[in-house]
Structure 1
Amino acid sequence: MIENVLLRGKFKTRQVTIIGMLSAVTIILGATGLGFIPIPPFKTTIMHIPVIIGGIVEGPVVGAFIGLMFGIFSIIQAINTPTPVSFIFINPLIAILPRMLIGVTSYYVYKLLCKKSKSFGIICGTVVGSFTNTLGVLGLIYVIYINAYANALHISYKTAVNSLLALVLNGFISAGMAVAVSFPIVMALKKVRK
């Protein structure tokens, strides 16, 4: 059924294949819980990696679709394995929107920089995509839920803000991991496409 919808939307067979393959990876990471690494008070993730790969290799729409799968699994994870702050990730604005934008920002940064150097474009696109997730999620938590977040963890407002800033630093680890995994895969897929 999804394949018919995608094909009617003028997707090429290769794009449908990439969406299917990377969505399957996302589903496996989400369903098994392997895509979520507990680093209290949240769970950090590696589920942004298939979104970045899909966005850079096949464009922003493909990346956004895979990001949608990631966002849906964030909601499922929040419901199935709750933490004191899981209520935040039941909100689609936080769970889905930044995840859909990962592939979009990765693609456009790659496209902008790949003319100078394909490798540099892939690395920068991956880093920007990773930080789209980190800053998008944490920024929306700050804007929408900072007081509820502090109350749920029984901490002060200042401590809550500082904990979010500390999680931004975790974004550098996440971005480094994304580059280490995404770069060789994207390079290989780009060579196959030639």
Structure 2
Amino acid sequence: MNRNDNTANRLVITALFCGIIFVLNFTPIGYIQLPFIKATIIHIPVIIGALLLGPKIGAGLGFVFGLTSLYNNTFAPAILSFAFSPFIPLPGTGRGSPTALLIAFLPRILVGVVPYYFYRFMKRILKEKYNVLSLFLSGLIGSMTNTILVMHLIYFLFRDAYGKAMNIAANIVYHAVLTVILTSGLPEAILAAVLTAAVCRVLMKFAPGKV
């Protein structure tokens, strides 16, 4: 395969992953409304895309993920949507915060970067024989990157607003953050790990270029 064909294939696959992200955004399984926050599986195609196509395209897919988060939290807001969209007022105020864009985009962009480098690191340690395990752990790390960064940024940037929205005291907000990470983030991470290992194991045989 020549360089032009390889580039064309990468563009086609990138467009396919973008399409998957947008389709998931407009279906109930893309963002699953829990009592106080929206769980998601949209990070999974970002992780898989990063492992197949590299961190630059992975970061781009993460940016698209961030766009869907901004859109979803603006037009279908939940109780914590003020932390993801500057167009949603903070509790007790009439205005949103532009720092919400940091939460909407930064963790999602890193979801398309961190798993790639973690996978390369694991391949050097575990070798090709344990490639499935490397993929599994990369999916796990990619998902937890999203959850841990999102929840900690909410804590550091919107602790008081989070407490008001959840009707809890400010001194126990971090306990609530950890609860979300364990009860929502961990199941998301396990699902991402399983699907990443299963899908990448097959697609890496056909993807343009090697990780």
Asked if these proteins are the same fold (TM beyond 0.5), I'd say: yes
Q: Tell whether 2:104 aligns with 1:95.
A: yes
Q: Tell whether 2:116 aligns with 1:107.
A: yes
1:126 Cα deviation after fit: 0.8
Separation (CA, whole Å) in 2 of partners of 1:94 and 1:33: 22
Letter of the 2:114 counterpart: T
| Alignment partner, residue 77 of structure 1 | 72
Alignment of 1:48-63 (within 5 A): 48-63=43-58
Separation (CA, whole Å) in 1 of partners of 2:142 and 2:165: 29
Letter of the 1:28 counterpart: V
Query: Per chain length, whose mean CA-contact separation is higher, i.e. which structure has more relative contact order (CA < 8 Å, sep 6+)?
Result: 2
Match of residue 25, structure 2, among 4, 25, 30: 30
Q: Tell whether 2:199 aligns with 1:185.
A: yes
1:184 Cα deviation after fit: 1.3
CA contact (8 A) 1:74 1:89 kept: yes
| Structure 2: runs of 5+ lacking an equivalent | 86-99
| Alignment partner, residue 61 of structure 2 | 66
Worse-matched range after superposition: 32-41 or 58-67? 32-41
| SS in structure 2 at match of 1:83 | coil
CA contact (8 A) 1:150 1:156 kept: yes
Q: Tell whether 2:148 aligns with 1:153.
A: no
Q: Percent identity?
A: 34
Deviation per CA, 1:47-83, whole angstroms, max 9, x where unpaired? 1000000011111011111111111111111111112
| Alignment partner, residue 173 of structure 1 | 187
Separation (CA, whole Å) in 1 of partners of 2:21 and 2:28: 10
| SS in structure 1 at match of 2:206 | helix
1:163 Cα deviation after fit: 1.5
| Alignment partner, residue 152 of structure 2 | 139
| Alignment partner, residue 91 of structure 2 | none
Deviation per CA, 1:129-151, whole angstroms, max 9, x where unpaired? 01110011001001100111111
Letter of the 2:152 counterpart: G
Separation (CA, whole Å) in 1 of partners of 2:201 and 2:79: 40
- Report how many residues are paired: 185
Q: TM-score, normalised by structure 2?
A: 0.83
Answer with 1 or 2: which has the greater Rg.
2
Q: Tell whether 2:35 aligns with 1:21.
A: no
Letter of the 2:80 counterpart: V
Q: TM-score, normalised by structure 1?
A: 0.89
| SS in structure 1 at match of 2:77 | coil
Deviation per CA, 1:75-117, whole angstroms, max 9, x where unpaired? 1111111122211111210011100100100100011112323
Give the RMSD, CA atoms, in angstroms. Answer: 1.7
Separation (CA, whole Å) in 1 of partners of 2:15 and 2:64: 11
CA contact (8 A) 2:133 2:197 kept: no
Separation (CA, whole Å) in 2 of partners of 1:70 and 1:14: 22
Separation (CA, whole Å) in 1 of partners of 2:9 and 2:53: 9
